Amino acid sequence: MKNFQIYAFADEASGQVDGQIRALLRNGLQGLEIRGVDGQNIADISVEKAKEVRRKLDDNGLRVWSMGSPIGKIDIVHGDFAAHMEKLKHVLELSHVLGAENVRMFSFYIPGDDHAIWRRKVMDQVGDMLRAAEGTGIALCHENEKGIYGDVAVRCRELLDTFPELKNIFDPANYIQSGQETLSAWEMLKGRTCYLHIKDALADGHVVPAGKGVGHVPQIVKDFRAMGGTAVTIEPHLTVFAGLKDLERAGEETKMAYAYESSDAAFDAACDALKACL
């Protein structure tokens, strides 16, 4: 996997940065898409806390690839956009401290099914966010997410066409959960995709390890690499059933589809699934 970098939302292994570092190291990953740190969302930590996290990562040969921020994940109607812009500015400051080159962002929760009536406001606010990032050297990367304006490929493409500087994150499971077939979405968006979120799902939306769902994850990863793609983020979202052992008699094993005894076990399974795809 020379020249191919694998990062992860390691807060799914541990809420504590020390536990995240252990999870990354034992799975041979390069670093974090950082989202949760010692009980706080990454957008809410202080600069001093960011410096502490950076020191720990540097000491272990790890890096922050992207900020797994919640920017843009507010209601288009009732969300406090002015306060949200201040949060974005803070995230950009933290990005410099942590050495992140990307900030994950969204395109606002939309009420109802009529996306067209909100298009102008979405575009205005996304434009404001991109202007805030101008000159920082940090890319804003839009992730498709159920319930937001850019939930399906055609609206993601609309955002990318409107804003050439905007980057694309491709999340197969989120497309499945939005009723979007992933291969057609990939054909539409692959030329603008900065990186992938490695997350697969069944047709009913339940998240499963990469390659076990209907997201065509192995095919998309192969195509991404063939195009020169260099980085992905593992996002496990797998079921943890910590009390499983307590419910079984000695020598018995309950068969559950992709449920794990601990967060660490679920994280390791997600890493193993991506490696099998590769």
pLDDT recorded at residue 1: 54
CA gap 120, 124 in Å, rounded: 6
pLDDT recorded at residue 254: 46
Are the C-beta atoms of residues 168 and 192 closer than 8 Å to each other? Answer: yes
pLDDT recorded at residue 246: 57
Q: How far is CA 84 from CA 78, 90, 139, 163, 250, in A?
A: 12, 10, 18, 20, 52
Which domains are present in the chain? 5-277 (3.20.20.150)
pLDDT recorded at residue 258: 84
pLDDT recorded at residue 251: 55
Mean pLDDT for each 10-residue chunk of the chain (278 residues)? 88 97 98 96 98 98 97 96 98 98 98 94 98 98 97 98 98 97 98 97 95 98 96 94 55 63 96 96
